[in-house]
Amino acid sequence: MADDRLYFRQLLAGMDVAEDDAIAQQMVNFVYLVGDRETGEAVAVDLAYDVPGVLDRLEADGMRLVGTLATHYHPDHVGGSLMGHPIAGLAELLDRTDVPVHVQADEVEWVTKATGVSEDHLVGHASGDTVTVGEIPITLIHTPGHTPGSQCFLVEGKLLGGDTLFLDGCGRTDLPGSDPEQMYLSLTQRLSQVPDDAVLYPGHLYSEKPAAPMAEVRQRNVVFRPQTQEQWMMMFAR
């Protein structure tokens, strides 16, 4: 697949979209757009905060939305109520256009509770499934730990890590549905299929850079320093 066929945008909520949203500015979520320039089809990853703004960006780029993918069910990634603050997301999107929402199978129930979206709109996936947009394949990798159905997306040498892996650190494991043992396995085993030359694009801007090669992340990120699961649990289980 030619690199110039891949359509890819990393949008920072609170800056690139939802510019006047104080919650978006505080949470520094990334929204991703992935598509096929030849067919004009695109999907949004973790669409929240500013549905019209994201759709306008797609339209300006000559692309059209044919689906959306969610890394996990938390409201800052799919919409809902975040500590009493309403965040737009999947429900608002589906009010405008009827597109499939791709989630990990274990996350279906959680997404419906968080967003109010019915299961009829959700497509539950297993690890290793592929979602194709135009002719661009997106591989889904189940990475439980932050939530039971957290998943990452690998597309053309880019890893969309959600809240599983950041450039510095990893997602919290002290929330409902979190599991530190599963997080360790996700980081060290389930993501081991991702090559060092792939570039990590995280779910939040928690570091100076918005992206970095996996080789650099594996070398510098403290979550990869423990040599055993016991050491990892001592350092990071909370």
State pLDDT tens for residues 133-149: 999 999 999 999 999 99
Instruction: Give the rounded percent of residues in the chain with a pLDDT score beyond 90.
Output: 94
Instruction: Give the rounded percent of residues in the chain with a pLDDT score beyond 70.
Output: 98
Q: What is the pLDDT of residues 191-204, one digit of tens each?
A: 999 999 999 999 99
The rounded distance, in Å, linking the Cα atoms of 174 and 165 is: 15
pLDDT at 2 > cutoff 60: no
- Whether 223 and 185 have beta carbons less than 8 Å apart is answered as no
The rounded distance, in Å, linking the Cα atoms of 227 and 13 is: 36
The verdict on pTM exceeding 0.85 is yes
pLDDT band at 4, cuts 50/70/90?
confident
User: What are phi and psi for residue 88, nearest 5 degrees?
Assistant: -70, 150
Q: Which residues is 123 bridged to in the sheet?
A: 102
The rounded distance, in Å, linking the Cα atoms of 148 and 165 is: 15
What one-character-per-residue DSSP string does 8-19 give?
A: EEEEEBTTTBST
**What CATH architecture does domain 3-236 belong to?**
4-Layer Sandwich (3.60)
The tally of CA atoms less than 13 A away on the side-chain side of residue 234 is 7
pLDDT at 97 > cutoff 60: yes
Tokens found for residue 162: 């959600």
pLDDT band at 3, cuts 50/70/90?
low
pLDDT band at 236, cuts 50/70/90?
confident
pLDDT at 1 > cutoff 50: no
Mean pLDDT of the chain: 96
- Whether 170 and 38 have beta carbons less than 8 Å apart is answered as no
Domain extent listing, the chain: 3-236
The rounded distance, in Å, linking the Cα atoms of 101 and 116 is: 13
Q: What is the pLDDT of residues 16-32, one digit of tens each?
A: 999 999 999 999 999 99
Tokens found for residue 56: 């306008």
